[in-house]
Amino acid sequence: MPLRPREFVQHLTPYEWEAMASDVAAAAGIRESEVVRFDTNTAAWPPAAWEQTVLDVPRLPVNEYPHPSNEPLRSALAGRFGVAPEQVVVTCGADEALFLVATAYLGPGRAGVVADPSFSMFGVVTEAAGGRLVKVPVDEDWQLPLAPVLAAAREPSVGVVWLCSPSNPTGRTLADDFVPTLLRELPDVAVVVDEAYAEISGCSIAELVLEAPNGILIRTFSKGYGLAGARVGYVVSNAEVATTLETLRLPQNMTAFGIAAACRALEDQAGLQARVASIVAERTRFSQELAARGWQLVPSSANFLLGSPPRPALEVAAWLQGAGLIVRTYPRHPRLKDWLRVTVRAPEEDDRLLARLDALTRASRDLSQRER
């Protein structure tokens, strides 16, 4: 008899990726290094303080385990937020942080409330913990409405409200009164605010979240700091919540390299601001270029754009992928099926995508003329 997992595991919805770069390269007849991922919202440049990090590598004690609490990064983060080190939990990317929260505050018979659409990992970790997901649709302006969220979260089974600001995939930030109202009105619910793109947006409600006993802040070094490959995230909350999550966290969840790289990046705030300025400037240019090509775009505060192209979204995505350019698609989502999420990357990479879009327009025009 084959091994049988727990019943709920058999019905989990796994995280979905676009095509692998190696497969795209083979199909396009190009080198894998020429493939550009516009679907992962990662940075196009080396991480902040990268040169110094490289110099650190030969001196890292990789023959030993890192500090049990991932020092000195934990204390450095605590200093940035003005909290005690015991209020910080360093995790293997923000994904582990989300999983720890779900494990602690969800499970069979419990539910998590989330925007629809929102970051798909919220659903993954909720279901992986045995809980169920309650979705609240965003409004016509892609904003999450407060009243329906409050109504959904007041159900006794709800243990967590999952929020991200700026939101993935829309790039919209939450209204000013949104999180304070939830924190006040839902004292028995964990209000989780994922600020993965806070460094890019320049907008954070960390102070408000950390003042509340039910507030949990989650951040990552993957986006603004450009350290996606190092897998460094963290949770900041009150000492009770942090202790709970630290108890669940697997020991030695980080690498010596990840800790060192994050510490260097955290020290280099000037480098971070220069990187963010470049991203924001390119976001403005890129959005203008897409709009000039007939794309309908959602205003974004992140390093990506959600847009509806003038041609069918899947057709455009396939055309781009034929040249090694991978964008994020949502073919099974009723609200997003005609939309694509496109990462803002380096100008020369964005120009490759724009040129490929122009080639599609020319090819379509030529075909139309031949058919007349």
Render pLDDT for 57-115 as a digit per residue (tens, 0 to 9). Answer: 889 989 999 999 999 999 999 999 999 999 999 999 999 999 999 999 999 999 999 99
pLDDT at 368: 63
38 pLDDT band, cuts 50/70/90, is: very high
* Per-residue pLDDT tens over the stretch 217-236: 999 999 999 999 999 999 99
Mean pLDDT of 242-253: 96
pLDDT at 369: 63
46 pLDDT band, cuts 50/70/90, is: confident
C-alpha–C-alpha distance, residues 168 and 121, integer Å? 10
What is the phi/psi pair of residue 358, to 5°? -65, -35
**Taken in order 35, 298, 333, 358, is the CA torsion positive or negative?**
negative
C-alpha–C-alpha distance, residues 235 and 220, integer Å? 9
* Per-residue pLDDT tens over the stretch 146-168: 999 999 999 999 999 999 999 99
pLDDT of 355 higher than 80: yes
Sequence spans of domains, the chain: 7-45+272-371, 50-269
* Topology, domain 7-45+272-371: Aspartate Aminotransferase, domain 1 (3.90.1150)
Report the CATH number of the 50-269 domain.
3.40.640.10
The pTM of this model reads: 0.94
C-alpha dihedral over 95, 97, 103, 107, to 10 degrees? -60
Percent of the chain exceeding pLDDT 90 equals 87
- Cα angle vertex 357, ends 356, 358, to 5°? 90
pLDDT at 371: 63
Could you identify the residue written with the tokens 């990090």? 53
